[in-house]
Structure 1
Amino acid sequence: MDFTRTEPARGSQTCGYQMQVGSWQNDGHRFCADRKARGKYFCNERHQEVLDTYGEIRMAPGNAIGK
């Protein structure tokens, strides 16, 4: 799993799931930098994590689906 500290564009093919919001070490935010899974808003791992946690996925307009 790769990560980036800058949020990817919503229309990109990068997952972008926010995995960390700051921390006590103050090393900042972390976003998943894996490629979106085909037909999903996130990579396979994050997609399943969201479903397990929230039961559904609702995204704002402008978010790309994996190709």
Structure 2
Amino acid sequence: MKTVPTEPARDSQTCGYQLSTNGWDSRETYCGEPKAVGLCYCRPYYDWVAADTEDGTARMPPGNAIGTGNG
């Protein structure tokens, strides 16, 4: 899985799920995979977040892009 060291822009087509927060090496890591079509994260992270919600869907704040399939 591709990762990036900085949070992607909220309107980008990069997943951006935060994988670590200022760990022992004081770095943050985010998922760098493309968002899944119609979803706010890549498929693995969408499924993981949705599994932990009451209605089985993941949500993000307004202004966050939804995957279009256009990278």
Task: Give the TM-score normalised by structure 1.
Answer: 0.89
Q: What is residue 33 of structure 2 aligned with on the other side? A: 34
Segments of 5+ residues of structure 2 without an aligned counterpart are none
Q: Deviations over 1:21-61 (max 9, x none)?
A: 1212x141000000000000000000001012234322111
SS of residue matched to 1:8 = coil
Q: Distance in 1 between matches of 2:60 and 2:36?
A: 15
Segments of 5+ residues of structure 1 without an aligned counterpart are none
Alpha-carbon contact 2:40-2:66 (below 8 Å) kept: yes
Q: Which runs of 4+ in 1 moved over 6 A?
A: none
After superposition, the CA RMSD in angstroms is: 1.2
The structure where helix makes up a greater share of residues is 1
Which amino acid in structure 1 is aligned with residue 66 of structure 2? I
Q: What is residue 63 of structure 1 aligned with on the other side? A: 64
Task: Give the TM-score normalised by structure 2.
Answer: 0.85
